[in-house]
Amino acid sequence: MTDSLLYTIAVLGGTGKEGKGLAYRWAKAGYRVIIGSRSAQKAQETAAELNERLGGNAAIEGLENFSAAQKADIVVLTVPYAAHRETLVSVREALQGKILVDVTVPLVPPKVTRVQMPPAGSAAQEALEVLGKGVEVVDAFQNISHEHLLNDDEVPCDVLVTGTSKAAREEALKLVQAAGLTGWDAGPIENSVVVEGLTSILIHINKQYGASHAGIRITGVNEQ
């Protein structure tokens, strides 16, 4: 999985704003991208929209979630938390032996500015429980606003990456870089509790200070 032209990424929930933004950036970087959705038609419509946006210089495909996961080398999950477990169960078989990058945040409306973690500890740890040890799970991109992703400007926010192994985190960090972002290895999957919890804090900051895309930066460390 070192040549982006041979590397296929499935973005499940890719019809939503965050998934669409990530898909756009990876397709622009040369990756093969599949938009996954519960509705194949909706996935195809989003794929066509992104292909048009990229001027025909990409080959983004739209498929139902399970088929998208089957065809991919790495799978990215960007669904709302309410659909998290259901989606994982539906694609569990297709994910075995692969890396799942979980972007889901356990927000519980209407109190989305309050950190509310699930019994497993985090959405990523819940994914690991559902999928089993045959899947490497990485947590990333929770703290990047979709408003940054669907344009071509530099993004003044960093991405914290946690995961079940250093090798899996390294693969995810390649995706962070390909999306034009700065990523940091933030350690084991247990640390995803902090990464996901930051999202509620950023939402609160947005509301408190009249902003729309607050983010974080890591300082005092030389980039590798």
Integer Cα distance of 99 and 101 in angstroms: 6
pLDDT at residue 169, rounded to an integer: 98
Asked if the model's pLDDT at residue 4 lies above 70, the reply is no
Rounded CA separation 116/125 (Å): 14
Mean pLDDT of 146-171: 92
Q: CB atoms < 10 A from the CB of 189, how many? A: 23
Q: Which amino acid is at 164?
A: T
Is the bond leading into 110 cis (omega within 30 degrees of zero)?
yes
Q: pLDDT class for 6, splitting at 50, 70, 90?
A: low
pLDDT given for residue 1 in this prediction: 43
pLDDT score of 224: 54
**Among candidates 90, 85, 116, which has minimal Cα distance to 102?**
85
Would you state the pLDDT for residue 2?
42
Give the span between the Cα atoms of 41 and 2, in whole angstroms: 31
Locate tokens 């194949």: which residue? 40
pLDDT computed for residue 155 by the predictor: 87
Burial profile 7-17: b = 16 or more Cβ within 10 angstroms, e = fewer: bbbbbbbbbbe
For the chain, domain boundaries: 4-209
Which token pair is 143?
């703290």
Alpha carbon distance 174, 195 (integer Å): 19
Lowest mean pLDDT among 42-56, 64-78, 138-152, 193-207: 138-152
pTM above 0.85? yes
Q: In whole angstroms, give the CA distance from residue 13 to residue 203.
A: 21
- 3-state DSSP assignment of residue 162: strand
> What CATH fold (topology level) applies to the domain 4-209?
Rossmann fold (3.40.50)
SS3 113: coil
- Report yes or no: 157 and 141 within 8 Å, Cβ to Cβ: no
Average pLDDT, the chain: 93
Rounded Cα distance, 188 and 122, in Å: 12
Contact in structure between 27 and 92 (CB atoms under 8 Å): no
The whole-number average pLDDT for the span 167-182 is: 96
